[in-house]
Chain A
């Protein structure tokens, strides 16, 4: 079952019109259809761009998954929104958006943090790693392999955060027992309740010694 799930994800990415593209395009059409006529005229005259210019944007240099990026952002943009909305790195998930669920966990300079409570503008020169950046090419990261093997997810929404948190948990030295893993993974909520399988996956990666 795990194998077929994985394959269907690949299939989506290879297609020219992925499900995600469809959602994005249809969302924009819906927004346009619902917008009042005056707003549509405004957007034709590029007033929206002029309006956007009203808000001050600031330059940001940030390394994301090994690539240096030079961006212009509003100070109020969180790292999570920057990744998802401006850089199209939608692997990092928005769960609660209030620091209560851990779905948005990423690594900043090698440390796990909540991207929803992180202002992007304060990450000048920092190195960010997201779920998209933990491995290069088609080979899965050992933690991804372990999550598939142990069925460490059902709906999968919390999984990117769980995996980012799990990798950090081992690197911090907080994965020495099931109890310790549970305590140090408590910031990642899984509403499907895959907890025991997640703990098994992390324990196996720790014992395999592939991360240190």
Chain B
């Protein structure tokens, strides 16, 4: 690993001021992804700004919303009593990600900022537009079994690896960031972006901005929720396809629905059309099947990952069926 200088930030404002001065610096919190990327020379910062001393670790149930500090650990959020009661979908998604050791280290903000696990991104001998703009995409015609079926471009077909972010996308969370001009808010669904012509950028956060918190508005998705993660082994593997499903069911009628998928796009993939279709419909297998068909409308396979065109709709139906059956 290339050596670097480490400085400790004393406040979000000072962290932002330090990063603004040095374009080769990066924030570090749990380090579970960044340290690995530095070992592989994919990331080579001259300076790391340690933000772990900042007081951004609380999970607070406020009036009409829940606020989660960016430095709250994944384990802490997954096992928080108010999260389990008000947003069980988030708790399920967090528990499906990584291992307990990594969840003990990883933070909410760091989870959002983690990079793709595309093998071409990790291998510095291979072309990758995300790591090295204009070098080409090795995955497009290469090993792409794990890759995107929605919203990809010829420049990049990588997927965002997070489970937590899939749930937060479904739950209409809002991201709070600190920047040189003060605090601003970003809708969670607008935080991560599609690759387009700039795959080197994973999200809409500016280089000199720091995530300080996320907020989830209260909702009625406290019972009929499920996070289905389909992967090569039953635990501790990235998703081939995952589905976050949340239903509000009254007298067998779906009052409201939230659906998002992981492992299928460069960002958590929200299924807005399927959600709209399910609203007001009775809980039936036919309705779930039709919603899944709507969700797959613009899907495209790239060879090795074409199996996802069948796996994804099946997973949507499965997740909805399990969610609806919870009592």
Bound form: Cα–Cα A172–B39 in Å? 31
B window 72-119: CB within 8 A of A:
98-102, 104-105
Q: Please tell me the size bucket of the interface on A.
A: 20 to 34
With contacts A99-B32, A113-B105, A114-B32 taken as known, whether A76 is within 8 angstroms of B4 at the C-beta atoms is yes
Residues of B within 8 A of A55 (CB): 3
A121 and B100 within 8 A (CB): no
A window 2-42: CB within 8 A of B:
none
Q: Please tell me the size bucket of the interface on B.
A: 20 to 34
Q: Determine whether A75 belongs to the interface, using a CB cutoff of 8 Å to chain B.
A: yes
Bound form: Cα–Cα A122–B27 in Å? 13
Q: Determine whether B52 belongs to the interface, using a CB cutoff of 8 Å to chain A.
A: yes
A58 and B6 within 8 A (CB): yes
Q: Determine whether A102 belongs to the interface, using a CB cutoff of 8 Å to chain B.
A: yes
Query: Which listed residue (A56, A75, A105, A119) contacts B101, Cβ 8 A?
Result: A105
Q: How far is the CB of A82 from chain B (nearest CB, A)?
A: 13
Most A C-beta atoms less than 10 A away, residue of B1, B4, B100: B100
A102 and B6 within 8 A (CB): no
Query: Per-position contact with B for A94-136: 1 when CB-CB < 8 Å, else 0?
Result: 0001110010010000011110011101100000000000000
Q: Determine whether B294 belongs to the interface, using a CB cutoff of 8 Å to chain A.
A: no
Q: Determine whether A204 belongs to the interface, using a CB cutoff of 8 Å to chain B.
A: no
Residue in chain B with minimal CB distance to A115: B101
A187 and B101 within 8 A (CB): yes
A97 and B39 within 8 A (CB): yes
A112 and B50 within 8 A (CB): no
B window 97-150: CB within 8 A of A:
98-102, 104-105
Interface of A is mostly: mixed
B100 and A78 within 8 A (CB): no
B105 and A187 within 8 A (CB): no
A117 and B36 within 8 A (CB): yes
B99 and A187 within 8 A (CB): yes
Segment of A62-70, A139-147, A152-160, A178-186 in the binding face: A178-186
Q: How far is the CB of B226 from chain A (nearest CB, A)?
A: 16
Query: Which listed residue (B48, B52, B236) contacts A186, Cβ 8 A?
Result: B236
With contacts A98-B36, A99-B36 taken as known, whether A172 is within 8 angstroms of B100 at the C-beta atoms is yes
Q: Determine whether B235 belongs to the interface, using a CB cutoff of 8 Å to chain A.
A: yes
Bound form: Cα–Cα A172–B79 in Å? 11
Residue in chain B with minimal CB distance to A164: B101
Kindly count the residue-residue contacts between A and B in the assembled complex, taking CB atoms under 8 Å apart.
76
Residues of A within 8 A of B101 (CB): 102, 105, 112-114, 165, 187
Residues of A within 8 A of B104 (CB): 111-113
Residues of A within 8 A of B100 (CB): 112, 165, 168-169, 172, 174, 184, 187
Residues of B within 8 A of A74 (CB): 3
Q: How far is the CB of B91 from chain A (nearest CB, A)?
A: 14
With contacts A114-B105, A122-B31 taken as known, whether A75 is within 8 angstroms of B52 at the C-beta atoms is no
B50 and A122 within 8 A (CB): yes
Q: Determine whether B63 belongs to the interface, using a CB cutoff of 8 Å to chain A.
A: no
Residue in chain A with minimal CB distance to B99: A187
Residues of B within 8 A of A169 (CB): 100
With contacts A112-B104, A114-B105 taken as known, whether A183 is within 8 angstroms of B6 at the C-beta atoms is no
B31 and A117 within 8 A (CB): yes
A window 163-208: CB within 8 A of B:
165, 168-169, 172, 174, 182-184, 186-188
Q: Determine whether B62 belongs to the interface, using a CB cutoff of 8 Å to chain A.
A: no
Residues of B within 8 A of A105 (CB): 101
Residues of B within 8 A of A112 (CB): 100-101, 104
A186 and B235 within 8 A (CB): yes
With contacts A98-B39, A186-B235 taken as known, whether A122 is within 8 angstroms of B105 at the C-beta atoms is no
Between A and B, 8 residue pairs with Cβ closer than 8 Å are: A56-B3, A56-B5, A75-B3, A117-B36, A119-B31, A165-B100, A172-B100, A187-B102
A residues near B, CB below 8 A?
Answer: 55-56, 58, 74-76, 78, 97-99, 102, 105, 111-114, 117-119, 121-122, 165, 168-169, 172, 174, 182-184, 186-188
List the 8 closest pairs (A to B, CB-CB), nearest first: A187-B99, A186-B235, A186-B236, A75-B6, A76-B1, A117-B35, A114-B101, A187-B101
